[in-house]
């Protein structure tokens, strides 16, 4: 007898094929689309209609679930507050840990006794037979792997989570969608933050209004090179849009919220050889105590780099890089891998 499974359906091809595969496997599948925000790519009226049509085509019940309030409080406000204070926030990792696999599952469990939550993420889950621990690995398609965005998932969440596409390539998913007649078989992928509809700058200007205060752009010696429009519009490593005159290209090195200052300098000053990650979530292994070698990924879709990982007594993690890493910003996710296995991840607090 199959499980009762809630499948998060965004109106795209991946979630629709995930739902189809679970139906084919004999599960009682219910399609759900979360209403996250008043304007959002993943839950606008068109996406809802596409998700509903896909569910009807597959032959499963479908409904929407309202998570506007927790999404606003836990994701949108974190994004706004982070950039306001000079921190680069990745809202998708927060959404996965706090909304998609928590709030939405809880509501689905209450409404129709869902036993598990499934999505169209390209990632894999297995249970270690020796320890019983749930482990998270990259999807087999390296061009679509989304495990980085899932590092916040806790053991109890992984135990009730399914990723039916983890063993498939994107080409195979589209081919299967076309084979079964899904209208979204060739729908383009969405890469942008779902609630930032008209670009980061426009979103922050609307969100902060008069709280967006201009200030100085200075070099490492403190010389004023120009004016910025508000530090929420800038991120470490940024080069374009600075509007400063200098003999060599300048990059954002630091954002000082206390003095409302953007500090810029040459590219070779924008690299970190060590960093500290806080609020660390150990995923595929229990929290280690001894240093070990691993690979670090600090952005989605970047190549992991060799590092030395040293767990700290306070629960933070010190990460030493073999080579300087360009444009690493507080607030970004530092995710640790061993090969394809995601060991854990945390939030970068700064250089170590």
Q: How confident is the model at residue 86 (pLDDT cuts 50, 70, 90)?
A: very high
Long-range contacts of the stretch 169-174 (C-beta < 8 A, 24+): 169/140, 169/141, 169/144, 170/122, 170/141, 170/143, 170/144, 173/13, 173/14, 173/17, 174/13
Q: Please check the confidence at residue 220 and state whether its pLDDT lies above 90.
A: yes
Q: What percent of the chain has pLDDT over 70?
A: 97
pLDDT band at 2 (very low <50, low <70, confident <90, very high): confident
- pLDDT value at residue 196: 85
pLDDT for 90 beyond 90? yes
Residue 35 phi/psi, 5° resolution? Answer: -90, 105
Split at pLDDT 50, 70, 90, the class of 347 is very high
| pLDDT over 60 (residue 122) | yes
Q: Which CA distances in Å does 177 have to 112, 133, 234?
A: 27, 33, 40
What integer is the mean pLDDT of 275-283?
A: 97
Q: In what order do the strands lie in the sheet with 251-256?
A: 224-228, 215-218, 261-265, 251-256
pLDDT band, very low/low/confident/very high, at 77 (cuts 50, 70, 90): very high
Q: Tens digit of pLDDT for each residue in 142-169? A: 999 999 999 999 999 999 999 999 999 9
Q: In this model, does residue 55 exceed pLDDT 90?
A: yes
Q: Does residue 76 have a pLDDT over 70? A: yes
Domain boundaries, the chain: 4-179, 213-269, 271-351
Give the DSSP letter of residue 281.
E
Average pLDDT over residues 336-341: 98
What value does the mean pLDDT take over residues 53-68? 96
Number of H helices, E strands in the chain: 9, 17
Domain 213-269, CATH: 2.30.30.280
Give the architecture (CATH level 2) of 4-179.
Answer: 3-Layer(aba) Sandwich (3.40)
Write phi, then psi, for 151 (nearest 5 degrees).
-65, -20
Give the whole-angstrom CA distance, residue 245 versus residue 134. Answer: 53
pLDDT of residue 270: 85
> Quick one: 271-351 is in which CATH superfamily?
Translation factors (2.40.30.10)
Query: Can you give the pLDDT at residue 67?
Result: 94
The strand order across the sheet containing 116-118 reads 62-66, 28-35, 4-8, 116-118, 161-162
Q: State the pLDDT at residue 351.
A: 78
28-32, 155-159, 195-199: the lowest-pLDDT one: 195-199
Tokens of 80: 């706004």
Any idea which residues carry the catalytic annotation?
95, 194
- Judge whether residue 39 has pLDDT over 60: no
pLDDT score recorded for residue 42: 65
Q: Would you state the pLDDT for residue 333?
A: 96
Average pLDDT over the chain, rounded to whole? 93
What's the confidence (pLDDT) of residue 319?
A: 98
């Amino acid at each position: 007898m199959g499980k009762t499974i809630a499948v998060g359906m965004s109106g795209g091809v991946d979630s629709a094929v995930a739902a189809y595969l679970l139906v084919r496997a004999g599960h009682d599948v219910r399609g759900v689309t979360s209403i996250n925000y008043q304007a959002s790519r993943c839950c606008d009226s068109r996406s809802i209609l596409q998700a509903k049509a896909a569910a009807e085509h597959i032959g499963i019940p479908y409904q929407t679930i309202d998570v506007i309030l927790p999404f606003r409080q836990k994701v949108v406000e974190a994004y706004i507050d982070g950039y306001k204070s000079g921190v680069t926030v990745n809202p998708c990792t927060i959404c996965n840990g706090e909304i998609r696999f928590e709030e939405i599952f809880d509501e689905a469990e209450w409404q129709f006794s869902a036993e598990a939550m499934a999505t169209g993420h390209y990632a894999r889950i297995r249970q270690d037979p020796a320890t019983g621990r749930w482990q998270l690995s990259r999807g087999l398609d390296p061009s679509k792997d989304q495990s980085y965005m899932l590092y916040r998932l806790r053991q109890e969440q992984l135990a009730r989570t399914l990723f039916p596409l983890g063993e498939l390539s994107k080409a195979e998913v589209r081919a299967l969608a076309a084979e079964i007649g899904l209208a979204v078989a060739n729908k383009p992928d969405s890469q942008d933050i779902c609630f930032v509809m008209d670009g980061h700058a426009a979103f922050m200007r609307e969100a902060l209004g008069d709280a967006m205060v201009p200030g100085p752009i200075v070099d490492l010696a403190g010389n004023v090179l120009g004016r910025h429009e508000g530090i929420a519009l800038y991120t470490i490593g940024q080069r374009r849009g600075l509007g400063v005159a200098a003999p060599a290209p300048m990059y954002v090195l630091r954002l000082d919220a206390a003095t409302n200052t953007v500090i810029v300098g040459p590219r070779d000053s924008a690299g970190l050889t060590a960093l500290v990650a806080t609020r660390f979530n150990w995923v595929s292994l229990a929290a280690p105590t001894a240093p070990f070698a691993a690979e670090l990924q600090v952005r989605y879709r970047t190549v992991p780099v060799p590092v030395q990982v040293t767990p700290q007594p306070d629960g933070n993690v010190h990460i030493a890089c073999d080579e300087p890493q360009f444009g690493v910003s507080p607030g970004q996710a530092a995710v640790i891998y061993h090969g394809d296995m995601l060991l854990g991840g945390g939030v970068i607090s700064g250089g170590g």
